[in-house]
Each structure stands twice: as C-alpha cells, then as structure tokens.
Structure 1
Amino acid sequence: MERRNVTRTPQEVLALCREKDVRAVDLRFTDLMGKQHHLTVPASQLNEHAFADGFGFDGSSVRGWQSIDESDMLLVPLPDSAWIDPFTSLSTLVLACAIQDPITREDYARDPRMIAKRAENYLQSTGIADSIRIGPEAEFFIFDDVQFDQRENSGFYHIDSGESWWNRGRGESPNLGHKIRHGLGNMCSPPNDQTGDLRGEMMQTLIDCGIDVECHHHEIGSAGQAEIDIGYGGLLETADNLMTYKYIVKNVAKRHGKSVTFMPKPVMGDSGNGLHVHFSLWKNEDPLFAGKGYAGLSDVGLYAIGGVLKHAPALLAITNPTTNSYKRLVPGFKAPVNLTYSQRNRSAACRIPMVSPSPRAKRIEFRCPDPSCNPYLAFSAILMAAIDGIQNKIHPGDPIDKDLYDLPPEMADRVAQTPRSLEEAMQALEQDCDFLLRGDVFTEDLLLSWIEYKRQHEILPMQMRPHPYEFCLYYDS
C-alpha cells in the first residue's frame, strides 16, 4: 500500500518512480463543479524542477475558470499526494496539483483545493480549534445497463439492475428469483445482495491506494445501491480522498462491465444517494464537541449545529448543487428535509451519533449533502457555517427526538424545511453568503460565478425542456 497524504520530498517521489518502474505521471485537478481532470506526461518529464516550475495547460477549457485571453495556467505537482494508479496498463504515478498563474505564480482563487486549504487556515486563525476531522459516507448505485438521451424531439432514460425487484419476471436463463424487494436493500445478504464481491474489490483497491476503509454494505435501494465508508481525516485530505474514492469505485465497476453513479436521485420512488458528513473540531488533540449537554455535546458543539442549521438553505446551494439533488430532498426515504437536530434520529438534518460513549467519538452528522457536490467546496462551506455558529453563539433551539415525518401538523409547520429546488437554494446563497467570505475562504467573484453558471447551464436548460411525465399528464389536454 502506498501511503497517502504523508510528507514527501520531490526526491522521494522520484525514488518511488524508480522503485515502481513508473512510465507515466498523471497530473490531476478538480474543476469548480467537482469534475476531475488529468494531464499525462512521460515519467522522464518529472524531475525536481517540475515540482517548482509546473506544467502548462489551457485554463479556458475548464468550466468556470479562465477566459480565452488569459488561458495559460500551471499545474504544479504536490509530492505529498503521490500514489500508483491501479487501472492503467502503463505503470502510472498520480499526483494532485496546485493551480497557479504562470506570470504572478499566485495560487488560483478558483482552485477548489485552494479554497479547502484556506478554510483550514481560517479555522486555525480564529483560535477556536486547530483542526477539523471529517468522515464522509458516500452512497452510490451500481447499474448493469444505463441508456439516456435528450434531443429537441425526444428524451428518455433507462436504467437496469439485475438484483432489483422489477426484474422478478424477466426471462433470464434461469431467473433464480433472488431479487431485492422495494426499499429492503439495506445490509441485505447474498444471494439477494449481488454486488458484495464487487464492493469488496472496491474496498481492497481503496486500501491498496492508501485510503482507510471502515466498512461496506448494500444500501436501502433495491437497484444495486451501495455504501463504502472511508476513514476520518482533515478537510483537504478527506476531500482529496473522496475524489479518489469516486475514481476508484467507478473504475472497478467499469472493469466488471458495471456502471456506478453518484447522481442524487437516479431511481424514482427509491432512496437517493446521500453524502452524510460527520465532522468534529479539535484543539491540542482535545475533542471540542464533547461535553455534558444534550446528547453529550458541549456548548461549542451545539453552537456549531446552530450555525449549520441557520445557514443550511445557503449551504445547500453548494452541498446539493444539482437540480436532481432536490428530487432526493423530499419527505420519506430517510431524506433529511427538516432543519432541526436530534440524537440518533436520521430524519433530522443534523444528527448526533450515539454509537460510542468516548468523547473522541463525539461528532455532528450533517445529513443533507449529496455526492454530486464538489467536496472541497462542500466541506469548506460546512466548516464556515459551524465557525459562524460558534463565534456568534447561535443556539439551535430544542432538539426534536421524534419521527419528523410523522409530526402533528401544528408542530410540523414550525420546523424549517430545506429548499425545494436548486433555484431556491441559489436565492438563499445570494441573500446569505457573508459567512463564506470571511478570511477570504470563498470570494465574492467565485460565488457570483458559481450562481451564474448553475442558472445558465443547469437551471434554465431544465426549465426549457418538456419532461417525459408531462406528456403523461398533459398530452391529451
């Protein structure tokens, strides 16, 4: 196993290349929308000077980045990020890169990794804590077949999973009948669970690439929904690991003729894919969220919840950044649409897990995010909301230790809800973004570009297109 996120010198990376007979170096970075890109160079191009001089690329071809008249940018390899890609036929070393302006050599303000780095630095500058630990639970679907298209005169999608209940009557040779009933996939065992070996290979590949894994299991969705939980780490470290996690999971699936999606709601009427974010703050190795209050929380922990809940509508513009995200955030399906908090309660937006009495295990789980987000931006925004809550002592009010989907109407009306659409979330972000701008973690320019891109390239195109179900409803009007 190649260790990740450890201090390495360029000389040590070059020695690793010689040890592993590396023939190619893959330089990777993530755009503003959370999509990973790469540039591959021969191993001979990687020398000590390259770690300082970087490699040129066209920044105008990356979504939300440079204009064409200022297109030249630099990829500067980060030696601490080195690992060996298990999927390439040619022995390939992977290096994450910082993005810099080639003239000023300043770090690029729209580089998501830089935003995450600034968020961690800002936390330290406040004196509240010296570190944040994040543990993500990313869910995904494994499909056997995926087809979709959208044209001026047609639009459709078709997805399939051999283990799903809808294939009980399919003419397989033979059909053994071990299909998963609707909504009963959570931690089911073989032969109903038909993706256990595949998840096991995903888990081992993650471990081989230096990522700690806690567990894997089948999720609630009957059509191959899965979850693999990876270990806790710092904000930037965990965001890096989550990008690698998505890369590995998708490519292990592809190797077996399967397709993985982290789309929040690909199956109608079934559970969607969440990204439950567990986080805690630490100072001098002491857990700051542990105390003697509700659910074993400290005042700091309660105020962090208060900040997250207060800013949640704006947060969701970053943590739930697609139009499809809001098809997951509907009542039922364990979707956290209620902006309140509770111990053990998975129907609340913020949950305090009670699985261990250890103060070191005391943490907050923010259940609203989904894995379509850019983790560098999402984790940074959550941290900034928590910091604001702590600095301003924002109390979250009383917890609700009841099934929030079954509250009496007079009580349910008093519980704030998540935005119902991406446009609502964007409006909330426009009205409530000051907490993100502190410490220059996010910039006003970046947020304006984010909102404009989402409206012009996602919200408006969706509004312009007829939906197939509208034909069912209205064609014979």
Structure 2
Amino acid sequence: MNPKEVLKYCQDNSIQIVDFKFNDLPGLWQHFSIPVSELDEDIWKEGIGFDGSSIRGFQAINESDMLLMPDAGTAILDPMLEVPTLSIICDIYDPTSGKPYTRDPRFIARKAEAYLKTTGIADTSYWGPEMEFFIFDNVQFEQNEHTAFYNVDSVEGSWNTARAENIDSDGNPHNLGYKPRYKEGYFPVPPHDSLQDLRSRIILKMMETGIPIEVHHHEVATAGQCEIDMRFSTMVKMGDQMQWYKYIVKNMCRKDGKVATFMPKPLFKDNGSGMHVHQSLWKDGVNQFFDKDGYALLSQTATYYIGGLLKHADALMAICAPTTNSYKRLVPGYEAPVNLVYSARNRSASVRIPMYNANPKSKRLEFRCPDNTANGYLCLAAMMMAGLDGIQNRVDPGKPHDMNLYELPKTEAKKIRTVPSSLDAALDALEKDHDFLLQGGVFTKDVIEVWLDYKRTQEVDAIRLRPHPWEFHLYFDI
C-alpha cells in the first residue's frame, strides 16, 4: 500500500488504532499507537517524534529527539489485537540532519541490499532462517543481592514423569505420561507432541500477515522445543517477517496460558535453540550459487562466499550469536555447529549445503551458528557482508569435511577451528575484525562502537559480577 491506500484501508476496515513499530539495536520491537483520526498525510512527510535516549543502543539524553518515518508498504492488520489495529513498521531518522539514522537496524539491512547491487556480484539475496524456540507452561526467575534462581517448567518436560498432575474423583494423583525424552523430541506425533494445535494456530496467524509458511514441527529437546519455517525472502522483508514471527509466537502462547522463549539455552543438558540461516545470491534471476559440476553442486562464487563466512566467523558471532547464553548452546555434543568447516548434508559443520534435490533454484548454503537472540536485520546483513568479502578476495575455505566431526579423534579434532567459547571472545574478535562490515557504508563505526560497549557493559560485565548458584555447590565449603 501507499499512504493514500493506507488511509482508504483504515476507512474501509473500520480501523480504530494505528500502531507504529520499530527495532531497538539489540533487536526487540518497540511501538506506540495513535487513534486513527490522527493519521493524516503529513505523518508520511514529517514523521513522528520519539525519545531516542530511552531506546537501547540509541541516543544520549542531550540528543534524544528522533523521528519515525512510517513505511506504508508494511501496513498490516495486527492479527493479535482485539481492537482493530493497523501495524506499520517505521524507519528511523535523525531530525537534525534529516537523514536515516545510522543505528537503525532496518536501515543497515537496506544499505546491505543496495551495496550488493553495486558489487556486480548479484542483485538479490534470499534468506530462510529456521527459527527455534521453547514453549513453557511456567517461568520464574530472580536476581538480587542475596538470591539467584530460575525455574522453567513444561507439561512435556521429561523430568515430570513422576509428578502428580491431576487428582481424580477419589483423590488419587495421576500422570498421563507421554513426555518426550531428552534429545528425543524430533519428532513423534501427538500425544508426545502436545503443541501441534497451538503451532497450527500460530502459523495461521502468521499467514494472516502475509508470511508464507513451509513447515512446523516439534524439535529435538524435551519440554516444548518447536520450529516454524518461513519460505525464503529478500533481506529487509525477511527482517520484517522475523519480527512478526516472534511477536505472533509470544502473543499466541500467552493467549494459550503458555510462554515462549527464544533464548538459545534455557535447559541444561538438552539441545538449545538455534537459527540456521539458508542464504543464496542471485543475478538477473539466476542463482549464482549453483554449478552442476561443483562440489555439492556449488559454484566457485558460493565456495568463496563460504570462505568469507568462515574467515570472519569469530567476529560474526558477536552479531549472530550475541548473548552470553548463546555460548551455552555453542558447545560440542548437542548438535551445535561449533566446527568452522563446511560440508554437504553434515549437520556437525557450521556451514552445511543441503542436498535434498538438484534443482538449480534450490541451491543454497546454511550457516548454522546464529541464534534467535540476534537482531535479524543486523545478522543477515553481517553474514552477507562476510560472504561478499570472501568472493571479492577469493577466500579459499579449504576442503569440505564430510565426516561426523563429533567422533573425530582428539588429535584430529584439535586441528579444526571452532567458534569462540564466550561472548567476550566474540566481541574481542569483532573489535579487531570489522572492516568487512564497513564496506559501502553498510555498518558504520558508531554502530560497531556502541554494539561493543553495550554488550560488554550491559551483558558480559553484568553476568561476570554476579555469583552463580553452581558456584555455591563448588566452593561454599572450601
């Protein structure tokens, strides 16, 4: 829709509220709403002011005034709200310069798409993130000066097989069983999968917003781990859809009396939730990653792209797996892609080339290290910039590793480079290696500096300063 069509849509569909959404730097959707009577043609030209100093990663208090410019093409009837509400995604502008705001994640993705065209390598990139999450029945947590704990629970939790879940008419407790065992949630039918109907309702809501859905299923872990896969799309559009995805999942679960989390590792000793990202480059409607004579049907362009991903992987992790919790997932033994090599079909490699069919249009590669704590716009943009750097500098990724990397002898395993073991290490890598992100002005110095400062002070230091409950087990009696 264009602005005039938005106004007509509001009239024709009895819209009462218009909601403006935008992204903070870490990746959480922010919003505010106006009555539809306040929506006029001036908004599209002049924007709407807001306080940028109250948004994570944005402005200092002495330069807080910022502008939201609504993107009429994103206007969608919000499927989650009772009051008829039109949701519009906004771009962020600096009112002083009148230019797009450098720290607006959506703007960074826009610049990445524009930069791709200038390289001559391709004119379009396609993205298909596999987003995983947990659906719990309860979550409780607290941290203060003298207490620290968390507790999550699920009717599916394998630990609940002995719990008295119901009391019958005679006062006897009973349990209905059917709890997916640890690492065995992929993917039996109901009643083991108790979330089938809820996921179906979730994808129907997603489809109401125009998101094409390919598949949904239970994932490997016990206690309600799920996956819903969207059909591939271009970068900015996929970034928008990833925001809608999280919004709908969280709100649909809440309506059902449950709670969803995209934390990578909420459970100890079971699989974490990742975001395997399928990606390809196209030019004039032709997939630049396909070659019928190449390894796994990959072109030389695709091989160099992989070289860029692997070369810059340590720095990429600071953006693609950007939380301290991310590195509790990225450990050997839980199908986690810690090994920085590539392979056809091999899920123990960080870059996998799917081999489901030989159709040139389907040829793509899958980078398996990211997770859903990433800001979608920044994550997709950063991966593409690394891949383009690999193509431009002809970075050789080495030989593919088609064996099960988890079963290699220790002497062989030590030769394989792995992802950083902590957010702190990833941030150090990004500080040293970010020139590839600055190409074409896609990322800017201030974005990198603010990202490093925010992550170190608000997350790394915050965790480092707090005693951990397991430290009491280890050290209290020493």
The TM-score with structure 1 as length reference comes to 0.98
Distance 2:411 2:325 in 1: 30
Query: Equivalent residue for 1:432?
Result: 433
Distance 2:147 2:410 in 1: 42
Distance 1:364 1:143 in 2: 32
Distance 1:440 1:127 in 2: 17
Larger displacement relative to structure 2 (59-68 or 139-148): 59-68
Query: Equivalent residue for 2:65?
Result: 72
Distance 1:143 1:302 in 2: 40
Structure 1, unaligned stretches of length 5 or more? 1-7
Distance 1:347 1:257 in 2: 36
Deviation at 1:338, TM superposition (A): 0.2
Distance 1:368 1:427 in 2: 18
Per-residue deviation, residues 74-130 of structure 1 (Å, max 9, x unmatched): 111100001011222210000000111223211100000000000001100101000
Aligned-partner residue type, residue 180 of structure 1: P
Distance 1:69 1:429 in 2: 29
Is structure 2 residue 16 aligned with structure 1 residue 15? no
Is structure 2 residue 24 aligned with structure 1 residue 37? no
Percentage of matched positions with identical amino acids: 51
Mapping of 1:302-313 within 5 angstroms? 302-313=303-314
Is structure 2 residue 236 aligned with structure 1 residue 243? no
Distance 1:60 1:97 in 2: 17
Distance 2:470 2:179 in 1: 27
Distance 1:428 1:103 in 2: 34
Distance 1:466 1:66 in 2: 32
Structure 2, unaligned stretches of length 5 or more? 167-173
Distance 1:106 1:117 in 2: 14
Distance 1:165 1:114 in 2: 44
Distance 2:330 2:274 in 1: 10
2:110 is matched with which residue: 80, 98, 117?
Answer: 117
Deviation at 1:409, TM superposition (A): 2.0
Deviation at 1:249, TM superposition (A): 0.5
Is structure 2 residue 134 aligned with structure 1 residue 134? no
Mapping of 1:465-476 within 5 angstroms? 465-476=466-477
Query: Equivalent residue for 1:409?
Result: 410
Query: Equivalent residue for 1:25?
Result: 18
Mapping of 1:277-426 within 5 angstroms? 277-291=277-291, 292-426=293-427
Deviation at 1:18, TM superposition (A): 1.3
Q: How many residues align?
A: 470
Deviation at 1:38, TM superposition (A): 0.1
SS in 2 for 1:272: coil
Distance 1:226 1:272 in 2: 11
Query: Equivalent residue for 1:3?
Result: none
SS in 2 for 1:327: helix
Is structure 2 residue 83 aligned with structure 1 residue 90? yes
Aligned-partner residue type, residue 44 of structure 2: F
Distance 1:276 1:221 in 2: 16
Is structure 2 residue 165 aligned with structure 1 residue 172? yes
The TM-score with structure 2 as length reference comes to 0.98
Distance 2:98 2:393 in 1: 37
Is structure 2 residue 50 aligned with structure 1 residue 57? yes
Distance 1:412 1:395 in 2: 20
Mapping of 1:204-223 within 5 angstroms? 204-223=204-223
Query: Equivalent residue for 2:182?
Result: 182
Distance 1:16 1:352 in 2: 43
Deviation at 1:395, TM superposition (A): 1.2
Aligned-partner residue type, residue 347 of structure 1: S
Deviation at 1:188, TM superposition (A): 1.6
Per-residue deviation, residues 39-88 of structure 1 (Å, max 9, x unmatched): 10111111122111111110110111111111111111100001011222
SS in 2 for 1:133: strand
Distance 2:44 2:446 in 1: 29
Aligned-partner residue type, residue 301 of structure 1: A
Distance 2:222 2:260 in 1: 14
SS in 2 for 1:435: helix
Per-residue deviation, residues 153-203 of structure 1 (Å, max 9, x unmatched): 000000001012110000012311111111100122101110110000001
Aligned-partner residue type, residue 11 of structure 1: K
Query: Equivalent residue for 2:455?
Result: 454
Query: Equivalent residue for 1:270?
Result: 270
Aligned-partner residue type, residue 354 of structure 1: M
Aligned-partner residue type, residue 380 of structure 1: A
Distance 1:464 1:49 in 2: 49
Distance 1:330 1:130 in 2: 36
SS in 2 for 1:49: helix
Per-residue deviation, residues 375-403 of structure 1 (Å, max 9, x unmatched): 11000000000000000111110000011
SS in 2 for 1:15: helix
Cα RMSD after superposing both structures: 0.7
